[in-house]
Structure 1
Amino acid sequence: MNEEYLKLPLVKNQVDMRFELIVDGYTAFIDFKEHGKKIWLIHTEAPEELKGRGAATAIIEKTLTYIEDKGYKLIPLCPFVAAYLKRYPEWERILDESAKPF
């Protein structure tokens, strides 16, 4: 993750059902669905102003860390998250059994 994102807080927006990362006044987000201790990551989006700066990758990394820290299991529906998981297979440890093999 780019150093500029390390200190930025991840926001779990329960109203809009999305994780948010606000960078320079712009919001990158991941839509999610939650039931019990499972989280489905549905869609990742970064505004045009943040494209190419690693904001989408940063929100994925922060969201995966949140999921692990809170004891959730992940079901990745978002293609961008799925591609990230293929690049970093060590995150398979948080996948829900229904999402394996990945």
Structure 2
Amino acid sequence: MAKVAVTPHEIGELKSLLCPPKIIKDILAAVMILIGEPNPRDYVTAQKVLNLKCDNSLIQRISTLDVASIAQEEVVKARGLVDGLTIDIVRNNNLAVCNLFCWVQEVLPMV
């Protein structure tokens, strides 16, 4: 199981973005793919998941995700969205998405 360092503050900051840059949308789409959300590339999907509370919150879902259950085709899709990104590139765009990016980078090799 991948470690989760995503904070509620970061989730709140991401929720407040009305029109995030492509890099943030791509990272969020990769997360949505890995957690099995339908329409993962639609930013509205990410917004809905970012707004979920308690047992269904994004932090809860990624902290309890069974990475072995992720289909290989989903891994390929998620990897395609974050290939070429580095933590420095992500950090220079938005600090709030850095921990989600790190989570994706940690999960992908586990599958």
TM-score where L is the length of structure 1:
0.29
TM-score where L is the length of structure 2:
0.28
Q: Which has the larger share of strand?
A: 1
Q: Which has the larger share of helix?
A: 2
